[in-house]
Structure formats: C-alpha cells, structure tokens
Amino acid sequence: MPPSPFRDLTNLGGRAFDRVGELTDRMLDGNLRIGVTGLRRSGKTVFTTALIDNLLHADRLPFLDVVATGRFIAARMEPQPDQAVPRFDYETQIARLTAPDPAWPNNTKVTSQARVAIRYMPGSLLKRRLRGVTRLNLDIIDYPGEWLLDLPLLDRTYAEWSRETLALSRRAPRDALAAEWLAYLSNRDPSGPAEEAVARRAAELYTNYLLACRASDQLLSLIQPGRFVEPGELIGAPVLAFCPLPEPAARAGRHTLWSMMEERFEAYKTNVVRRFFAEHFARLDRQIVLVDVLGALNAGPAALADMQTSLSATLESFHHGRSSWLDRLLGGRIDRVLFAATKADHIPSNQHGNLRRLLDGLVAERRNAIRFEGAAVETMALAALKCTETVMAEHQGRQLSCVRGIPLGRTEPTVLYPGEIPDDHRLLDRDGIRKLNFLDFRPPTLAGRHGRGLPNIRLDQALEFLVGDFLS
C-alpha cells in the first residue's frame, strides 16, 4: 500500500522543525550544500578528498576567481552540521593517497559529510564595506553509488519495477548472471501462498545476481535495489527479503507471494529510499555528477548503454531549477549541476575536449531537461588526482600524444597510446571501442609534498562553477 499522505505531512513537519538550527546557520553565514553524486567507481571519494585538500591549501586553484584575485584568506575543516551523519574521513584518505607507497581509497560504503569553512574578501567594494571579511560554510556530501540507483524506485510500482527488471535480466550480458535466480522463479507461483522461506531464497538468489553484475568486467551500473549489495545497517532485515516476480495472470489476493513481495517493496521505498532522499538529496543546493566514461568505454557498448540509462533514471529524481532566497534557506532546489568525466589524466591532454563532448552527448537529454527547469548546467573533463603526464612518442614515423604513468600492479612508468576518442557517442560502434585501451594508474608518489594540494586537472574550474558565485 502507498504511504499515507498524512504521514508524509507529519514527516515533513518534523523535518522542518529539526532544521531550525540549520536555517539559522544559513542566515548568519553563507552556507552551501554540494552533493558529490555518481555511479560506482566514478571516483567520488577521491574527488571529495582532493576538493577538501585543495581548498585547505589553495595553491593549485588558479582558475578559482577568489584565489586568482588574491581575495582568498584561508580555509579549515569544521564539525559537520548533521550530527547523525558520519564525518568524511579526510585524514585517512589523504594519508593513503600521499603515503610513500600510495593507494586508492576503498569504495564509498556509507553516506558521509565534511564541512570546509572558507574565509575570503568579497569582490566588490560595496560588499567589502558592508560585510568585511566573509565566511562560506561549504558542506560536501558523499554517497555510495549503489544507493543513488534507488531513487528511481520512488516513481515505480512493484509491478512496473518487476516488468522492467525481469526484462533487463533476460538480455545479454545479464542473462547468464541471472540464470540461477530466473530458474528458481520459473518454478514458483506468484499467486501461491506467502512463504517466508521462498521469499528469502528468491531474495538471496536475486542478491547474488546483483553482486555478479557489480563484479562483472562489463561494468554494469543499473543495480537495484542498492541496499541489496551495500546493506549498511539493514543486514538481515525483512525489508531486504524481496525481489521482482512475473506478474500473475489474475489479481493476486492477500497472503500470496506476490502480495508479500509487493508489501516489502513499498516498505523499502518508504522506510529506506524516501527517508534517504528527504534527509540528504532534498536539501542539496549544488550537484556534481561524476561519470567514468573511460571505464565504460573499456567495458564495451553494453556498459556504456547501461551507464547512460542509470544516469538518466537517477537524475530524474532530483529537484532542479532556479532557486529563490527562500529555496536557499529551506533547501528546495538544485540550481547548478556539473557533469564531469573523471580520470581525464588517463588520456592525453589534446583529447580532453573530445572526452567532454562525448560526455555532453551521453547526458544531452537529461542536461536539456535540467536546463529547461531553470538550473545552470555544465560539462567538463577533469582529474581530481593527476597520475600521468602527456608525452610525445614516435610510432611508425608518426608523433603521437601519449600518457606516461605507473599502471596498477607495476612499479615502473609506462608510455601508453590509448587510442583516439571520438567526440560523438553515436560514432562509438563495437569495433571502434575495441581499439581503445585505458589503463588504471597508481596515485603519484609524494603527491602532497611541500604541503601543496593534490595535483589535479580542472578541479579549480569545477569549483568556480559550483561555488564561485558565492565567493564573489
């Protein structure tokens, strides 16, 4: 059954009351919440670490206007405002990335938050006279990529979700991964009695299928529900004991397997997804969407299509549009969205433009919809931590732009020509993708030496778009 509207009103009132302190902060100081969103393996943790590190040091941000004009004073980390949300462990992540034998962070497992307080001088003489030295509290929120994919469930009924998910599972390359689960469902009657053992076994096999999708070298992105593979505190809870079912020929009555699964699906939406959305996403001001385009290209056409579908479905759930001052206080709409193709250092610098245009084409439909709603949108190719350098190498009498770095699993630098990236996703046929080769590289040794921020590509331009107007 759908949740009661009266319950929604009660929850809304409770949340509004709880946020009185936050609204006070927004009125006394500038306060901006940025959601670092993106699918799994898009580099959210590295981006968040690099963003914080470069703000704390601010010497690798030449295209951030407040730094370029000498108005930046200092920044420091402060306790995050949401007491129930874990603190983003910046110290551990930066220590891993800057160690003598550096290592990449583990995947994001839980929602976390960091607050960076920035002190600066306003740009205009009038603002300087009225306000003097000014402060911006920048709240950065990092989310597990799997949990983002739960948001589209809010607009689906159990029957709709079952049809879509079953159809997807029967197409290559997922069909082989789903074989055991689909075979089990073929011997079960959705109109049969609601048996807990059957529900749990079906959910277990479905979870195994999702885990296989996540582990696949096809880089499959569309994995729902996300808490099945990253359950957090919900391990063993009945709310995770459901899965899609073939729709029964006749309307299923009470106490059937179908009705049990449908009830748990709705409970998952209400108690997990709606709660997660209300506590985090409904309060964002700005959003950066990180996209591992190069990883999807490496995995092939199926991965690229899966990534495109996942991004579009996820972003439909956000509230984008121009914000008024009241929206800013209450956290009503996201008024700036940056789509960023990550790991731009894995290709030569002369191909960054093609990477940006490729991403622009992949997200064109969603980008245009967000602009129509009134939000500013930009696309960019960046690297939160630069691991390679562009070099020229001769091959068969030709000078080629290549990248040089230390690939994962090796100890010596390698010069690699990854291939030419087209600037239009419609040119990416199967044969063309096979000619591309992107390696994963180790973090650079001594990246944070001399107390400087992590080396990066266009992190300053990303910050200028996301927060530059607040630092003017």
d(CA 410, CA 387): 14
What residues contact 78, with CB distance under 8 A and at least 6 apart? 115, 116, 117, 137
Find the mean pLDDT for residues 430-449: 75
Burial code of 126-138, b = ≥16 C-beta within 10 A, e = fewer? eeeeeeeebebbb
Find the mean pLDDT for residues 1-16: 47
Find the mean pLDDT for residues 124-143: 88
Q: Which helix (H) or strand (E) holds 140?
A: strand 134-142
**139 three-state secondary structure:** strand
Q: Which residue has the higher pLDDT, 421 or 87?
A: 87
d(CA 12, CA 191): 37
DSSP lists the bridge partners of residue 398 as 395
Model confidence band, residue 337 (pLDDT cutoffs 50, 70, 90): very high
pLDDT tens, position by position, 236-276: 888 999 999 999 877 777 889 999 999 999 999 999 999 88
Residue 392, pLDDT > 70, answer yes
Q: What percent of the chain has pLDDT over 70?
A: 89
pLDDT at 9: 45
pLDDT at 234: 84
Q: How is the chain split into domains, by residue range?
A: 5-143+280-387+448-471, 157-269, 389-434
> Following DSSP, what letter does each residue of 348-384 receive, concatenated?
-GGGHHHHHHHHHHHTHHHHHHHHHTT-EEEEEE-BS
- Rounded to 5°, angle at Cα 408 from 216 and 42: 50
Residue 22, pLDDT > 80, answer no
Return the biggest CA–CA distance within the chain: 76
Asked if residue 280 lies in contact with residue 273, where contact means CB atoms within 8 angstroms, the answer is no
d(CA 104, CA 472): 34
pLDDT at 23: 47
Q: Which residue has the higher pLDDT, 6 or 197?
A: 197
Find the mean pLDDT for residues 4-20: 47
Signed CA dihedral, 396, 398, 403, 406: sign only: positive
pLDDT at 18: 47
Unique residue bearing structure tokens 């930009």? 378
What residues contact 85, with CB distance under 8 A and at least 6 apart? 111, 112, 113, 141
Residue 343, pLDDT > 80, answer yes
pLDDT at 435: 65
pLDDT at 323: 56
Model confidence band, residue 344 (pLDDT cutoffs 50, 70, 90): very high
pLDDT at 7: 46
- Rounded to 5°, angle at Cα 347 from 378 and 415: 165
pLDDT at 258: 95
d(CA 234, CA 222): 21
Question: 122-130, long-range: CB within 8 Å, 24+ apart, which pairs?
Answer: 122/71, 122/472, 123/65, 123/66, 123/69, 123/71, 123/472, 124/472
pLDDT tens, position by position, 194-253: 999 999 999 999 999 999 998 888 888 889 998 999 887 788 888 999 999 999 877 777
pLDDT tens, position by position, 273-315: 998 888 877 788 999 999 999 988 888 888 888 888 888 877 7
pLDDT at 149: 83
d(CA 306, CA 426): 15
pLDDT at 194: 92
pLDDT at 430: 54
pLDDT at 205: 97
Q: What percent of the chain has pLDDT over 90?
A: 55
Find the mean pLDDT for residues 318-341: 70
d(CA 445, CA 406): 10
Model confidence band, residue 17 (pLDDT cutoffs 50, 70, 90): very low
pLDDT at 431: 53
Residue 28, pLDDT > 50, answer no
Residue 1, pLDDT > 60, answer no
Q: Which amino acid is at 86?
A: P
Q: Which residue has the higher pLDDT, 102 or 301?
A: 102
Fold designation for 5-143+280-387+448-471: Rossmann fold (3.40.50)
Asked if residue 205 lies in contact with residue 181, where contact means CB atoms within 8 angstroms, the answer is yes
Q: Which residue has the higher pLDDT, 305 or 384?
A: 384
**339 three-state secondary structure:** strand
Least confident interval from 138-152, 166-180, 263-277, 454-468: 138-152
Residue 29, pLDDT > 90, answer no
- Phi, psi (degrees; rounded to nearest 5) at 380: -160, 150
Phi-psi region of 321 (alpha: psi -120 to 50; beta: other; left: phi over 0): left
Q: Which of 281, 283, 282, 305 is nearest to 293 (CA)?
A: 305
Find the mean pLDDT for residues 80-99: 91
